[in-house]
Structure 1
Amino acid sequence: ADFESGLWRIMIDYKHGVWGMGVLLKRRGSVIPKALVWSLPCAIITVLLHQSVESEKGNDSLEMEGIMTIWSSFTFVLGFLIVFRSNQAYSRFWESVTLFQQTSGEWTSALSNLLSFCRLDEEVNFEVLKFQQYLIKLLSLLHCSALQTMCELDDDSLEILSLTGIEEKSLRHLKNSPDRAETVLLWIEKLIIDANNRNLFEVPAPILSRAFQELSQGMVGVNDVRKIRMVPFPFPYSQYLSLMLVCHWMLTPVMASQLVVKPYWAGVIVFVVSTSFWTLFYIAQEIDQPFGEDANDLPVREMQKDFNEKLEYFTDPLSYTLPAFNPRNMDQKKTQVMDSSFTFNRDSIGSRTHSDLGRLEEGKVTSSCESSDPSDSAVLTAGGFTCGVKAHEPLNLEELRHLIEGLQAPSEVSLLWRELEDHQILPPSTATDAASGSGSTLMSLQQLTAALEDFLARHTAEDPSYSRLERLKAKLSELQGLETVAQILSVADTGQDLDITGIESQLDQTLLGSQRGHIVTANVRQVPYPAKVALFG
């Protein structure tokens, strides 16, 4: 990645390319330019000496043979020292990365445990919320203080969650602390003890102690990383290695100009050897201390920012509240394929699962109700009522709620249903029916889709509800499109002629011109029976 404007800088992200040579022309973070500063003059001096000093070239003489033996020993010792230095730097680099990631993981796990331990009773709701907000502020401050003691930054300003609400006297005391991270850790431990004394947790003390252990283990990791910063690679090694490299740089042109017969070969060999030694030397210096501002150092500012984002996300009630689960959707044997963006692409390859066959035998699912897309399948097999639903068929409250449960992620259903009520997308009497459980209000998929389209047309994408309601509308439209395709294919199966132009128009309306619409249209053009099987099982 290139340099970013402002304070934020990210670590080098690169790809090797097809042949592994995609990194050759990248300059940022490369130590080759530094090495060339030494190797190019060395090669030029070699060629000049070869041309200016007239002597017998080659290593045939006994004198040159003895010099070669001594020179080989010197080069071997230099190579050994450089490899040893590089290995030590690499070990220090990965030890620093590993220890800090463990520290961050320990503190994140401690937060996760403490949030899951909190009571959800209404009577302590405010006290629990206060504890959670105070906790994440202190954890953000702890993480920041730990990073500042590890890093060597010209500007060590890091982003933390606002400390508004914490008394200034304590913050002034923290400013003068010899170890701010240890002080903040002590505050967090005291906060947990105070919350436990006020019965804000619903776990016994032995289980609560797990959070203390994780906080302490994280602090041990911080001290281990500090060790790497405070204790550099031993000075005698560094000094002698630098001296040997300079001696090698001065003597190599002399040796090569006398040992190699051709001047251009002498220059090439010296250039390659010198570049190799100096490159390894600078690589070791570059990665020896990863908590700095060099191009190959860790992105400490981004790490702090990411930690803050995790703290804020975990304190959202949906993060530590167990999602609702509808047993009617339970299918232990069925699998789906999900990518890193939490998008379900398709069902796993294979035959229909046993539980699917069971639903077929019970008459709850028919082949015309199945789809190759897992989101569709989840809806159409969510309950017996969904299979035979038509777009214009009125649904009662319970049926409509179950259908939405199949369309949306379980964690979003309650919030989405509440938004449908608050924005009056559902009929006015729906909320009353929900309370009574009667489910007498009727509304078809077409009516719900039209109501969603009307709401989205009157609101902007900045509305918090916009994205969720837009996704629901898209899935409802797609569901109605699949119903249209099922009707078209049922006609095709009878051998009747089809109006392809009319089909395309109808698909564009129901599937909103999506890629699925074009794929299904192509299958309809074929009009074979296998197309029906491929689409609907």
Structure 2
Amino acid sequence: MLLYDNKRFFWLLLNRRGSVFYRCDSLVGGLFVAALGGAIQYMHESEWEDAPSIGHHYGLQALGVAVTWAIVFRTNLAWTRYWEAVTQLHVMYSKWADAFSQFYGFSEVTLKAAKEKKDEEKVKRIILKQRRLKVNFALLSAMAAERLSNGDNQLIEEMSRKVRSRSAMRVEKELKGTGLPSMVAKKDFDRELRTVGSYVLFCKPSEQQIELLKRSNDAVSLVMYWILWDLASVMKDIDTAPPIQSRMYQELSNGMLGFNNCLKIADVPFPLPFAQLLLLLLVAFSVLIPLYVIVFTKSRVVGPILCFFLFESLWCLNEVAKELENPFGQDMNDISLPDFHLRFVDNLETVSHCEQRQMLDPGDDFNAVDLRSLANQPPLEVAALAATVDTTKLRL
């Protein structure tokens, strides 16, 4: 997904990267229509007997209105699909991040109590679950992003241009097998890269995990099952009440709902009858544009220019709709899922960083407060903080 400065007029006007206006097919089509318009104007000026002409413009206007309405309608639907994809993607990642944050907060409080009681076995179990869940949450994100990047809409573009049924696509994918995405360990990842092509993980899956993922027809649900299994197994060790712990499962469920809403857009294409009919109407109207424009302008200069831009406006709007209808993939204007995944991994790393524990639980100095740091605080905040401070440990 390209980011750009909307205030840079000339850069925006002339930028070719990600543009549909400067594509070869658009420019060639526009130049052909303009040349056809120039030829018709030359035939009229030469008074050819067979020069095409129209007696009334109602028919072309009616066709133009129908084509314009259909293209605008399709573009509006395409933008709705694109925005819905971005919205559900943010829902998916925010809910999964919330679930991990809640688990880590609950487990850290429990870990502190277990250390005070010197329950070493419980400490080991919780630390193990923390590490496993952190790794599996990153793996879950990678599998989800890869699944969305290779939805049915994207696969049909890569494999062939033929029309296929969903059952045929399913059989072909099962015969091909499940391939794992390109993954790299976080310690080996170069953050200075301008383009993120691999999915960053805290550690790569084990051979047993890779084998299970390859055999699975739904890798996302498989990794989600691993996460739920770990949460259920550690539930008895966490000191937080079960009704409060259930919030973690609710957030995981909400994240899966967001993923499946994204999957709906990645797998369900725009209806073929509408797209085919619109393309036929657009081609028919484009062929008639020169005749319509030249007969009424009667100009060698203005006529071809109007033919070019009238064709480009309608053709490019249709191309924009095609870009927006399938927002997941590797095209320039598609949503960058590896970038979303990297931000999610950074979120997991931030929440689980050891400095968080040192700041929130500094040990014996937990109640120690430097009064000089309160000098610039509002009186109400100072009073509220003073009520929680052990006065025997104040540093003056």
When normalised by structure 1's length, the TM-score is 0.55
CA contact (8 A) 1:89 1:287 kept: yes
Q: What CA distance in whole angstroms lies between the structure 1 residues aligned with 2:333 and 2:264?
A: 20
User: 1:163 deviation in Å?
Assistant: 4.7
Structure with higher RCO (Cα < 8 A, 6+ apart): 2
CA distance in 2, matches of 1:354, 1:301: 45
Q: Is the 8 A contact 1:78 1:245 kept in 2?
A: yes
Cα separation, partners in 2 of 1:272 and 1:331, compared to 1, 3 Å? farther
Whether the aligned pair in 2 keeps the contact of 1:31 and 1:283 (CA below 8 Å) is yes
Identity %: 27
In 2, the alpha carbon distance for the partners of 1:168 and 1:269 equals: 63
The 8 Å contact of residues 50 and 263 in structure 1, kept in 2 or not, is answered as yes
For this pair of structures, how many residues does the alignment match? 321
Cα deviation code 1:45-67 (max 9, x no counterpart): 2012201234889xxxxx9453x
2:375 & 2:218 partners in 1: Cα distance? 54
Q: Is residue 75 of structure 2 the alignment partner of residue 86 of structure 1?
A: yes
Aligned partners of 1:23 and 1:213: how far apart in 2?
44
Match of 1:465 in 2: none
The Cα of 1:332 is off from its aligned counterpart by: 7.6
Residue 322 in 1 paired to residue 311 in 2?
A: no
Q: 1:428-439 alignment to 2 at 5 Å?
A: none
Larger Rg: 1
Please give the secondary structure, in 2, of the residue aligned with 1:202: coil
Is 1:159 aligned with 2:209? no
Q: Which runs of 5+ in 2 are unaligned?
A: 159-179, 183-197, 383-393
Decide whether aligned partners of structure 1 residues 24 and 264 sit closer, same or farther in structure 2, where only a CA change above 3 A counts: same
Task: Check conservation: 1:29, 1:295, Cα contact below 8 A.
Answer: yes
1:16, 1:22 within 8 Å by CA — same for their partners in 2? Answer: no
Residues in 1 aligned to 2:206 and 2:295: alpha-carbon distance in whole angstroms: 76
Counterpart of 2:225 in structure 1: which amino acid? L
Output the CA distance in 1 between the equivalents of 2:332 and 2:206.
Answer: 39
Amino acid at match of 2:332: A
- Counterpart residue number, 1:278: 315
**In 2, Cα distance between equivalents of 1:73 and 1:278:** 18
Q: Distance in 1 between matches of 2:106 and 2:340?
A: 27
Distance 1:30 1:245 in 2: 20
Tell me, in whole angstroms, the C-alpha distance in 1 between the residues paired with 2:381 and 2:125. 46
Task: Write the deviation string for residues 321-348 of structure 1: whole angstroms up to 9, x where unpaired.
Answer: 62767372336865xxxxxxxxxxxxxx
Residue 266 of structure 2: aligned partner: 229
3-state SS of paired residue (2:229): helix
1:207-356 superposed matches below 5 A = 207-319=244-356, 322=360, 326=369, 328=371, 329-330=373-374
Counterpart of 1:382 in structure 2 is none
> Residue in 2 aligned with 1:45?
36
Q: 1:45 to 1:327 in 2, by over 3 A?
A: same
Change (3 A) 1:101 1:243: same
Query: Aligned equivalents of 2:267 and 2:234: distance in 1?
Result: 37
**1:56, 1:258 within 8 Å by CA — same for their partners in 2?**
no
Whole-Å Cα distance in 2 between the matches of residues 261 and 162 of structure 1?
Answer: 69
Q: Distance in 1 between matches of 2:381 and 2:89?
A: 46
Call closer, same or farther: CA 1:64–1:167 in 2, change over 3 Å: closer
Partner SS state of residue 329, structure 2: coil
**Alpha-carbon distance in structure 2 between the residues aligned to 1:288 and 1:140:** 28
Kept in 2, the 8 Å contact 1:145–1:180? The answer is yes
Distance 1:156 1:74, change over 3 A: farther
Q: How far did 1:225 drift? A: 0.9
Q: 1-side partners of 2:330 and 2:209: how far apart?
A: 31
Kept after mapping to 2: 8 A contact 1:151/1:292: yes
- Structure 1 residues 261, 142: closer, same or farther in 2, change over 3 A? same
1:150 maps to which residue?
148
Q: Which residue, 232, 235, 241 being the options, matches 1:193?
A: 232
CA distance 1:208–1:246, shift in 2 (3 Å): same
Structure 1 residue runs of 5 or longer lacking an equivalent are 1-10, 58-62, 335-352, 357-397, 403-537
1:313-462, aligned counterparts within 5 Å? 313-319=350-356, 322=360, 326=369, 328=371, 329-330=373-374
- For residue 53 of structure 1, give the secondary structure of its aligned residue in structure 2: helix
